[in-house]
């Protein structure tokens, strides 16, 4: 069985490490900013100030789960780990990176004898308490080596080996594209109610009602109720909704494959327009991103 480390202790990585520790898994941790190590050490994790120290403290075979921002930061960490790990060790890329980068990294890791998984992770800031959802891509032996840790992180039945290298990040990309469209639909619906002659309706109460038996019930609707309970008219939230990349990639892949995805495309373009104006529907989308992922919101 692999020993496990979480490299990157932000909103997601820190809580993932805490969940593993809470389930009795000996968990090693590292972070680019050392000040984040002490709270994890107090929670029971084994801390390391450098990657060299991290790898040296872990018995082989090792599994290091990267949870830092996609792009240059992840690439730098990947190359650093590849220079330190041994044959039979495992790197798991948990960033919201492009799936083609995952394919490339899997090939590079394989040439060094190191296993690689790309893991799309969903669950946001609620994953610590409720459990995460993980979509993994890579070779089956690599997935088998990571499965005990993935199972400990997730809700029952909340993980899947989606296919070969790149499949995890591709699936998470589409997942986030769907998320864009669902958030936009809720935003438009509540904006229509607010603009109607019945605009003084209790929106938190309506979200709660819809979540009990209706065909549009969902966790996002629960989070909408949370947001309305805190700020009934969303007067403290700006309608600027960030575009973090996955929606763009989903629309690009849809265009490349000739697959119609008009709802996701419209939701993506609406995020672009939200940068220039402030309306109620966009404020709900911004509030929802804060509720499920702890993403910052701009004050009005």
Q: Which of 91, 83, 102, 132 is nearest to 7 (CA)?
A: 91
Taking the CA atoms of 104, 107, 111 and 115 in sequence, report the sign of the dihedral they define. Answer: positive
Degrees, nearest 5: CA angle 40-47-149: 75
Q: How far apart are CA 245 and CA 177, in angstroms?
A: 10
Query: Parallel, antiparallel, or unpaired for β 115-122 and 132-138?
Result: antiparallel
Q: Which of 179, 152, 121 is nearest to 27 (CA)?
A: 152
Which residue in 35, 108, 147, 172 is the catalytic one? 172
Q: How far apart are CA 183 and CA 226, in angstroms?
A: 15
Long-range contacts: 212-215, Cβ < 8 Å, 24+? none
- Look up tokens 């959802």; give the residue: 133
Rg (CA), the chain: 20
Task: Clarify whether 194 is annotated catalytic.
Answer: no
- Look up tokens 């798991």; give the residue: 92
Q: Which of 129, 97, 132 is nearest to 116 (CA)?
A: 97
Which residue in 179, 184, 246, 291 is the catalytic one? 179
Q: How far apart are CA 205 and CA 251, in angstroms?
A: 34
Taking the CA atoms of 237, 217, 137 and 142 in sequence, report the sign of the dihedral they define. Answer: positive
Q: Which residues are catalytic?
A: 172, 179
């Amino acid at each position: 069985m692999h020993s496990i480390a979480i490299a990157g202790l932000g909103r997601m990585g820190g809580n993932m490490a805490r969940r593993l520790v809470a389930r009795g898994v000996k968990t090693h941790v590292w972070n680019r900013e050392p000040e984040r190590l002490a709270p994890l050490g107090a929670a029971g994790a084994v801390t390391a100030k450098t990657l060299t120290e991290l790898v040296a403290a872990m018995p082989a075979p090792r599994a290091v789960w990267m949870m830092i921002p996609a792009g240059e930061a992840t690439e730098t960490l990947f190359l650093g780990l590849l220079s330190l790990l041994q044959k039979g060790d495992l790197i798991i890329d948990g960033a919201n990176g492009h799936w083609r980068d995952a394919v490339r990294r899997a090939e590079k890791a394989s040439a060094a004898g190191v296993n690689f998984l790309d893991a799309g992770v969903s669950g946001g800031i609620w994953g610590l308490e409720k459990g995460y959802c993980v979509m993994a891509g890579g070779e089956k032996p690599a997935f088998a080596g990571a499965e005990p840790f993935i199972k400990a992180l997730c809700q029952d039945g909340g993980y899947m080996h989606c296919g070969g290298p790149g499949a995890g990040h591709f699936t998470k990309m589409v997942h986030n594209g769907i998320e864009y469209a669902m958030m936009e639909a809720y935003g438009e619906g509540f904006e229509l109610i607010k603009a109607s002659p019945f605009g003084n309706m209790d929106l938190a109460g309506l979200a709660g009602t819809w979540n009990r038996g209706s065909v549009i019930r969902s966790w996002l609707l629960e989070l909408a109720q949370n947001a309305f309970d805190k700020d009934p008219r969303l007067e403290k939230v700006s309608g600027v909704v960030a575009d973090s990349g996955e929606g763009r990639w989903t629309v690009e892949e849809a265009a490349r494959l000739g697959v119609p995805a008009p709802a996701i495309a419209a939701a993506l373009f609406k995020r672009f327009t939200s940068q220039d104006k402030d309306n109620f529907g966009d404020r709900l989308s911004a509030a929802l991103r804060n509720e499920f992922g702890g993403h910052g919101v701009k004050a009005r």
